[in-house]
Amino acid sequence: MSSFDDIVESTSDVATDDEHDPEGHTIAWERQQVAALLDETRTALTDIEAAEQRLDNGLYGTCTTCGLEIPVERLDALPATPACVNCAR
Ligand SMILES: [Zn+2]
């Protein structure tokens, strides 16, 4: 899996040879990868902001679906998760 920086770098390297590099991916493909990364990051950010809000409201660690407490081990692994294991399934 390429990092954002790797993709940006390789994209600028081949910027003048669009679609014709037999070794690499096309710029269109790379752009798609970057867009997917950005989407993922935006989703993660939304989750984190929602978790912050629950923290402010004193509801952090409480499942937003069933209202039960989310186990600490789960919060350690997924600090921004809004749901307990049962409800996340
Ligand atoms: Zn739940």
Centre of ligand 1 to C-alpha 80, Å, is 14
47 pLDDT above the threshold of 70:
yes
Separation in Å, CA 7 to CA 14, 24, 39, 40, 49: 11, 11, 15, 15, 27
Centre of ligand 1 to C-alpha 76, Å, is 16
Q: How far is CA 52 from the centre of its chain?
A: 16
What's the pLDDT band for 11 if we cut at 50, 70, 90? low
User: Are 4 and 37 a contacting pair, CB within 8 Å?
Assistant: yes
39 pLDDT above the threshold of 80:
yes
Structure tokens at 37: 């990364």
